[in-house]
Structure 1
């Protein structure tokens, strides 16, 4: 009760019938992973025709009345596809483009990531694109995920444009509190194992087949879960000194993959001056 349930899927098996079943099951959002246009996506997925099947699953979900969007993980291999993918969504009235910053997990590695300069330039472009879509009457919204620094950067940009909008953004950032892994975000895999987020499969908290989710989540005994909910107490380096740490805190799993769970966020492109440590 009171939990919003989303499905993260490759979308290839979502027929019209399956889409209706998902709606009846109570899913609030269907996020289909598409990581580029046809050639880029199919090469990444290693299956010819994967893009067409995924996009059909996306349209079937939308036609069933489900809130839908694509989950696009940006890498150095698909960065240039982003403008065309967003235009394709807008033309098909898909309501959400969700850009995921790369988290080294599974086969993904830091070597696949874009540079900090490219990341900052990308957020600038997405900011302008979202304004353009709104002005042109499109309903497609643009979100970014797994790099809380984006929110701080947008807030700083808004401060230069509109103080009222900037204050609204700041209030939202206070509400969100940065990376919500292990706090407002949980992952339950196909075996019932509970993880702090969908990329943290090498760490299992408990299993919902052995204990109720409410008991696992609301009365945590797991030390990692407890610390993630108090993360600002443990931050070190730039993140520990940052004036926005209560609103951001970095993405802890990415920091862990870089060698230190509580250390610097490798994907933070904000300058020392912007975060108040210069």
Structure 2
């Protein structure tokens, strides 16, 4: 597989087709509401966006998200259209009544390449409490099994925060039982309704990543983190300790603006849904031009211009830290990621407030 040049195209482009959703999830970035916004991109505008995305090249991955993308009646039409023009279309529906067996089959028939569902608790009680809707766990698990029956690869998304972290081993078992191909573990960024939740500490996050590294080596499904790129640093260090095959590499995965782009329901283009600084709007400019040439995106791709301990870190090219979390907690998207426990050898500069307090024993 030819490596992706992330200066030219993203690995992943997410289009938030709507913010409408029946759920009231405690961590919701979008502050989703039951009703659709009147200024959402129309069906015609959505297809024009997909046509423009096609300029990135063959097989560009597009994720239709929300809110609940199935709150729009034309989401299946977007999957069908994107598939026809050569895009790899995936969908992240909410665990609501809209995620019916018929909806899963319709997405499969339209050519969806993967379905991603969210499981944030190992039991109906814990998951439904987090998602704010009784019955969400049952609907989500049923839809996951429907996807398997329809031959659609399944991804399971899980949020890590103080409320969910103890359930991770049991959720891992459920991911295995559902025959998922990928477990995507999202480390909370305090935006939207997520500001009221308690994140895990840097020390706890480090232990969770050690657990996830073990899972990635033991299970048949893949494991990735969202907004926690220092998982790659943890994996490299553990590989070095285990068998001498580790240490920094030249390039890593994706971070906000570097291999990743986000289009909002109204067409604003962001480096990530968790980094609300807009580079422009698809109604006025090409998504391709905004990704490649905007000052915001170009700056975020310059890992050597990171500041604080992220800028001093020998793993900055393989990791780069969460630019979204740095922005959410400091206002500077190029600053240190406050969730990362690692301090580069010889670094004597300032530490993120949360980490400095932890080291001081406060």
TM-score (norm 1): 0.84
Using the TM superposition, give the Cα deviation of residue 24 of structure 1 relative to its aligned residue in structure 2, in angstroms.
4.4
Identify the residue that residue 253 of structure 1 maps to in structure 2: 324
Identify the residue that residue 29 of structure 2 maps to in structure 1: none
Using the TM superposition, give the Cα deviation of residue 47 of structure 1 relative to its aligned residue in structure 2, in angstroms.
0.9
Identify the residue that residue 148 of structure 2 maps to in structure 1: 62
Using the TM superposition, give the Cα deviation of residue 185 of structure 1 relative to its aligned residue in structure 2, in angstroms.
0.8
Alignment gaps of 5+ in structure 1: 134-138
* Aligned partner of residue 69 in structure 1, secondary structure: strand
26-35 vs 239-248, greater mean Cα deviation? 26-35
Alignment of structure 1 residues 139-150 onto 2, 5 Å: 139-150=220-231
Question: Is structure 2 residue 157 aligned with structure 1 residue 76?
Answer: no
The C-alpha deviation readout for 1:208-238, integer Å capped at 9, x for no partner, is: 34443333333x2x321221122422x2111
Using the TM superposition, give the Cα deviation of residue 182 of structure 1 relative to its aligned residue in structure 2, in angstroms.
1.6
Identify the residue that residue 206 of structure 2 maps to in structure 1: 120
Alignment of structure 1 residues 219-258 onto 2, 5 Å: 220=293, 222-233=294-305, 235-258=306-329
The C-alpha deviation readout for 1:169-216, integer Å capped at 9, x for no partner, is: x55xx343x54322321112333332211223x333233344433333
CA distance in 2, matches of 1:113, 1:79: 10
Aligned match of 1:34 in 116, 119, 143?
A: 119
CA distance in 1, matches of 2:93, 2:273: 12
Aligned match of 2:237 in 156, 163, 173?
A: 156
CA distance in 2, matches of 1:210, 1:126: 42
The C-alpha deviation readout for 1:30-54, integer Å capped at 9, x for no partner, is: 2212211221111111111111112
CA distance in 1, matches of 2:307, 2:226: 22
TM-score (norm 2): 0.66
Higher RCO, 1 or 2 (CA under 8 Å, sep at least 6)? 2
Identify the residue that residue 27 of structure 2 maps to in structure 1: none
* Aligned partner of residue 198 in structure 1, secondary structure: coil
Change (3 A) 1:90 1:50: same
Identify the residue that residue 290 of structure 2 maps to in structure 1: 216
Asked whether the 8 Å contact 2:227–2:255 carries over to 1, the reply is no
Alignment of structure 1 residues 166-181 onto 2, 5 Å: 166=246, 171=249, 174-176=250-252, 178-181=253-256
Using the TM superposition, give the Cα deviation of residue 129 of structure 1 relative to its aligned residue in structure 2, in angstroms.
3.0
* Aligned partner of residue 32 in structure 1, secondary structure: strand
Q: After TM superposition, where is structure 1 displaced by more than 6 Å over at least 4 residues in a row?
A: none
Query: Considering only aligned residues, what root-mean-square deviation do their CA atoms show, in Å?
Result: 2.3
Change (3 A) 1:175 1:93: same
Using the TM superposition, give the Cα deviation of residue 99 of structure 1 relative to its aligned residue in structure 2, in angstroms.
0.8
Change (3 A) 1:56 1:189: farther
Q: How many residues align?
A: 261
Change (3 A) 1:215 1:272: closer
Change (3 A) 1:223 1:130: closer
Change (3 A) 1:16 1:212: farther
